[in-house]
Structure 1
Amino acid sequence: MRGWKKILIMDRNSQWSPPPDGWLKCNFDSGFQQGRSFTNTCWLIRDSNWKVLLTGCAKLCSAMSPLHAEALGFLHVLQIVWAHGMRQVWFEGDNKELISIINSCEDHS
């Protein structure tokens, strides 16, 4: 993920805490229901002073599993964040499998 200073993916099953100064935190979540023709994802981005900078929801293509839905949502939110020029961002979600997969990836920059 060239151009990113750092990406941190956190498990959001704890109380929300602000990111360090100079960082943003993006909370995201996606919904999954077997047999639906679409997946919904929503996000909220705040700074270290708890100020809400950006929120949104999107209707995405259908997913095959909860992991697939969360991955689609994460990729969509990643594009939104990038398009808004945000680079030092912590992403926080609730799908432990996705968090584990992303955090185990090597940096190839």
Structure 2
Amino acid sequence: MPAMLSHWFFSHSKVSTTHVRVLVPLLVLWFIWKSRNSARFEAASATPAQVIFRIEEFLDHMGTSHAFSRTSFAGDRDCPWARFGGPFRRDKDVAPVAWKKPPPGWLKLNTDASVLHGRASGGGVLRDHCGKVCFAYYKEFGELDVLEAEAQSLLHGLQLCADREVGALTVESNSNALVQLVCLDMGSKWPVCIVLREIKYLVQRMGASFHHVFREANSVADVLSFLQLGAQRVYVADAALPLRGQRRGSSGSSRSTSAS
């Protein structure tokens, strides 16, 4: 095992102590050790897929907190986390990204969340196959991290759908971590695991499908989640949707860009 790790660590001439080839093996060992302790002392089992997901989630959190530099991926620009290492030259394919209408007879729920100054809020919108708004919402959740806020916003949207006896439902979120937790039936830390249990119950009960989309295709929910309105709101028509410039305590004259 030491020989294998050394070969992995130093398998490229440009590898430094902060390189991803050094970091990933250490994380693999650390999360296996954590899973072993959880199994022994807390009777909590973890599959290999769950351990891999937790490692990938940890690396994603490191990337979003700007813990990487370009040298972390020297010689490994094809690494899935290299996007966190700053700009570099590469060929790019340009593809249009937009919200897509659901099939006739179906409804689509888009949800999102944001955390500003430690305060979490979420938003979402339900639309039909013509793109018409059935309802939209905004809700504040207090002090949560991003994943917890995403989960709470999704749960709130699903509860609103269940209250209205919505059928033939498809759901979209730009949180890839949340989509994997729900669709791959992976465990998570408390209290997210409690929220996930309720989400999975409602998804199964309504026969809904859940998919990841890019943020550009989730723009209405994204704008709603940032409004900071100070109270829970539910809107039942396109014309009732707030505008991007509307904020807590702002006047109507400050409205500028429509959330829709």
TM-score range, shorter chain: 0.7 to 0.9
Higher relative contact order (CA 8 A, sep 6+): 1
Aligned to 2:148: 68
Partner of 1:84: 164
Query: Which SS does the other structure have where 1:32 is aligned?
Result: strand
Structure number with bigger Rg: 2
Aligned-partner SS, 1:100: helix
Deviation at 1:54, TM superposition (A): 0.6
TM-score where L is the length of structure 2? 0.33
Q: Give the secondary structure class of the aligned counterpart of 2:103.
A: coil
* Aligned match of 2:99: 16
Tell whether 2:177 aligns with 1:97. Answer: yes
CA drift of 1:50 comes to 1.0
Gap change, CA 1:55 and 1:35, over 3 Å in 2? closer
Q: SS at 2:98's partner residue?
A: coil
Question: 2 CA distance for matches of 1:92 and 1:27?
Answer: 5
| SS class of match (1:43) | strand
Deviation by residue 1:15-38 (Cα, 9 ceiling, x = unmatched): 1101111110111111124633xx
Structure-to-structure mapping, 1:37-76, within 5 angstroms: 39-63=120-144, 65-76=145-156
Among all aligned residue pairs of Structure 1 and Structure 2, give the percentage whose two residues are the same amino acid: 27
What is the Cα deviation at residue 92 of structure 1?
1.0
Aligned residues: 93
- RMSD (CA atoms): 2.1
Please name the residue that 1:8 is paired with.
Answer: none
* CA distance, structure 1, for counterparts of residue 152 and residue 137 of structure 2: 15
* Aligned match for 1:29, one of 112, 128, 144: 112
Which amino acid in 2 is paired with 1:80? L
- Distance, in Å, in 2 between the alignment partners of 1:49 and 1:35 is 37
SS in 1 for 2:159: helix
Provide, for residues 5-58 of structure 1, a one-character-per-residue CA deviation record: whole Å limited to 9, x for no partner: xxxxxxxxx41101111110111111124633xx21111111011111111111
Structure 2: which 5+ runs fail to align? 1-96, 186-199, 206-260
Of 78-87 and 54-63, the range deviating more from structure 2: 54-63
Amino acid at match of 1:75: L
Q: Any stretches of 5+ residues in structure 1 without a counterpart? A: 1-13
CA distance in 2, matches of 1:16, 1:25: 10
| Distance in 2 between residues matched to 1:69 and 1:35, nearest whole Å | 11
Structure with the larger helix share: 2
Look up the match of 2:23: none
